Amino acid sequence: MKAFIFDLDGVIVDTAKYHFKSWKIIAKKIGFKLSKTQNELLKGVSREESLNKVLNWGGISIDRLEKNKYLEEKNELYKGFINNLNHMDILPGVNKLINFARNNNIPIALGSASKNAHRILEKLGIKNKFKVIIDGNLTSKSKPHPEVFLRGAEILGINPKNIIVFEDSIAGIEAANKAKMISIAVCAKRKIKNATFNFNSLDDISLEFFEKLEFK
């Protein structure tokens, strides 16, 4: 048995840019300019962990109440940006892989840190394609901890070594590797170190690649 686990933001849909936009606004409010390089380290990381990183980089410390205020504000900004998402926003290659999985009896799961995952999959119209959805509401440890992927494997009932994870983030690749899964990085701008394989996008992965790939 084999399975696919997809990350959501930056893999299925280009929402990573909206997370960045929202965090930039929040960072500015707390007196700090968030760089692109720093943003790479926020990808795959939960909302609260992301805020902690931003505060840390800015050398700012605030109380719980204020933290909650910024977390809520960030999510309101983000929800505004994703409001009009629809099936046209599904990234190239996603549907091809979903169809390949269906034709080959490969179950697919979602492994995302986002608490907005259900909302986004519904907007894209592909929620029913996922046998299992593990999101930020079901996990307590943020990537690079492997919890999200291990829970997925457990519910799918499939050995982690027979699972392929598609990820766009450094934290996500580390999490998949820690879970002892096959990690495929999809990122146009750079290669992610330690990923089992690197591709520019899901669309660049040929179906022959999976046929040749040996699941040990």
Q: Which two tokens stand for residue 105?
A: 């009896």
Query: Is residue 24 part of the contact set for ligand BG6 (CB under 6 A)?
Result: no
Query: Is residue 139 part of the contact set for ligand BG6 (CB under 6 A)?
Result: no
Least distance CB 19 / ligand BG6 (angstroms): 4
Exposure class string for 120-129: b at 16+ Cβ within 10 A, else e: bbebbebeeb
Stretch that binds Mg ion, among 123-131, 133-141, 161-169, 197-205 (CB under 5 A): 161-169
Query: Is residue 43 part of the contact set for ligand BG6 (CB under 6 A)?
Result: yes
Q: Which of 168, 183, 184, 195 binds Mg ion (CB under 5 A)?
A: 168
CB-CB contact of 5 with 152 (8 Å):
yes
Q: How far is CA 112 from the centre of its chain?
A: 5
Q: Which two tokens stand for residue 61?
A: 């410390």
Least distance CB 50 / Mg ion (angstroms): 12
Q: Which of 44, 133, 28, 135 is nearest to 77 (CA)?
A: 28
Listing DSSP states for 110-128 in one string gives EE-S-TTHHHHHHHHT-GG
Q: Count the neighbouring beta carbons within 10 Å of the beta carbon of residue 11.
A: 28
* 123 contact, one of ligand BG6, Mg ion, none, CB 5-8 Å limit per kind: none
Query: Is residue 9 part of the contact set for ligand BG6 (CB under 6 A)?
Result: yes
Q: Which of 3, 13, 26, 45 binds ligand BG6 (CB under 6 A)?
A: 45
Q: Which of 9, 14, 63, 204 is catalytic?
A: 9
Does the active-site annotation cover 9? yes
Site for ligand BG6 in 103-132 (CB under 6 A): 112-116
Counts of helices then strands in the chain (DSSP H, E): 9, 6
Helix, strand and coil percent figures for the chain, each rounded to 5 = 50, 10, 40
Contact positions vs ligand BG6 (CB under 6 A)? 8-9, 16, 19, 42-47, 50, 75, 112-116, 136, 169
Contact positions vs Mg ion (CB under 5 A)? 7, 9-10, 168-169
